[in-house]
Amino acid sequence: MASRANHLVLLGCGLLCAATSLCAQMIDPSAAQAQVYQAPPAYQTPLYQGPAAIPSPAAASNFPIASDARLAGDAKQTRFILDLDKAIQFRAFSLADPYRVIVDLPQVSFQLPAGVGVTGRGLVKAFRYGLVMPGGSRIVFDLTGPAKIAKSYVLEAANGQPPRLVLEFEEVDRTAFVQSLAPENRPELRPAIAEANAAVAQPDAPAAPKPAPGPPDKRPVVVIDPGHGGVDNGTQAGGGDIMEKNLVLGFGLALRDRIEKSGKYRVVMTRTDDTFVPLGDRVKIARSESAALFVSIHADALRRGEGDAQGATIYTLSDKASDSEAERLADTENKSDAIGGVSLADEPTEVADILIDLVQRETKTFSNRFARVLMGEMKTTVRMHKHPLKSAGFRVLKAPDVPSVLVELGYVSNKGDLEHLVSENWRNRTVGAMAQAIDAFLAKRLATAGPGK
């Protein structure tokens, strides 16, 4: 009897705990929702996860789901249809040079079939989609020429059809296109960081009590910049399901954790999730943090017919590219903002200042010195390109007072490199080599220059 009574007591406790947990979720649903924005680090999840990957049940229940997209029509009139599980609000506007149409949406869980958007039809050359900031998604259409948005609307679910977002494009001449670009129809994209800062600084918001200031963290700052993100997938392989943006994010997070283990440095990431960050903001992050070092992580690819290059390459900034391949890569990477729909016509004044400040030779000297140290460490564990040190005019390396390098981990277009890039063992070895190089470079620099960088 005593044994049976104990069993009943334990069973009752279990049921009580389960009920308490359920009530807590019902009373405070925000706690469950907050988990959506705190995705597990990429290095703890599969190394690549394309836009068509199915999210967690929590994410699917909190965000609208886009399940399919298609184009119809011809070079005079083209229609885009996006199938959703619920109606949403949106805004659409056009940009010129190159001709694009941008559609901003609330955060959407894209579960589209693989390869959707790679090829176009009619007036649409191709389109891409993804997250541009927490809470906001974007679709970017590359147009074959000037075209206007003739109609744009959301259809409610009816006759067995799901809710649909519909855009109708119509061919126009250049003059009519330019006239259609009224200011209210082409709002400038506000970078995610500026948006967050503005939200915090609302004048009507009650002032939050300031925490007691702690001792300043005087450790040198290392900024790690996983390239691409959000609507900008970077290079793709494996039929489009392996994306550079995911590979380099996983690598960057693993590198951050390795560096932080020593406790010597404070690490700042330009992005920690699948968010689009404009190139100018990446540079601003490094400068605002007075970084001692900026490391941008990428993975290159060659088009068919351009050969089969392989191995890691380390790039530094130069007005003149070291070779045609470096120039091609810099041109490609510098178009990231256009891929995200950012208008490149209105550069912030900081960029002009940066171009002038490039004459600062000391920063270039430190960048080149770190590149050599990094190559020395990496070549013992990683296959390097036959010409591992190169230079070109990368916009993301243009912080005048922060030593900066861009590391191409390998070529996703090369079978051997791709096998390495998706290998956890290879990543661990490469992360170790890079962390050792960062430590060696900063230790020597701080010993010579003192704690003030």
Give mean pLDDT in consecutive 10-residue pieces for the chain, a chain of 453 residues: 46 44 36 30 33 41 89 95 94 87 92 91 94 89 93 92 95 84 44 44 52 79 95 80 89 96 95 91 93 95 71 91 82 77 52 49 90 96 93 89 94 90 94 96 79 48
At 380, is the secondary structure helix, strand, or coil?
Answer: coil
Separation between Cα atoms, residue 73 and residue 150, nearest integer Å: 13
Can you list the positions of beta strands (E) in 182-288?
Answer: 221-226, 236-237, 242-243, 266-269
Q: What are the CA-CA distances from residue 24 to residues 57, 228, 234 (Å)?
A: 19, 38, 41
Q: How far is CA 189 from the centre of its chain?
A: 16
- Are the C-beta atoms of 313 and 323 separated by less than 8 Å? no
Separation between Cα atoms, residue 150 and residue 257, nearest integer Å: 50
Total residues belonging to the chain: 453
Neighbours of 379 (CB within 10 A): 14
Q: What is the pLDDT of residue 206?
A: 55
Q: What is the pLDDT of residue 337?
A: 73
Neighbours of 320 (CB within 10 A): 9
Separation between Cα atoms, residue 287 and residue 453, nearest integer Å: 13
Q: Two tokens at 81?
A: 């249809």
Q: Are strands 293-300 and 221-226 parallel, antiparallel or unpaired?
A: parallel
- Omega within 30 of 0 (cis) for the link into 98: yes
Q: What is the pLDDT of residue 29?
A: 33
Q: What is the pLDDT of residue 34?
A: 29
Q: What is the pLDDT of residue 444?
A: 87
Separation between Cα atoms, residue 290 and residue 271, nearest integer Å: 17
Separation between Cα atoms, residue 270 and residue 229, nearest integer Å: 11
Separation between Cα atoms, residue 154 and residue 81, nearest integer Å: 10
Sequence-separated (6 or more) residues with CB below 8 Å from residue 80: 69, 70, 71, 124, 127, 141, 166, 167, 168, 169
- Are the C-beta atoms of 278 and 342 separated by less than 8 Å? yes
Alpha carbon distance, N-terminus to C-terminus of the chain: 74
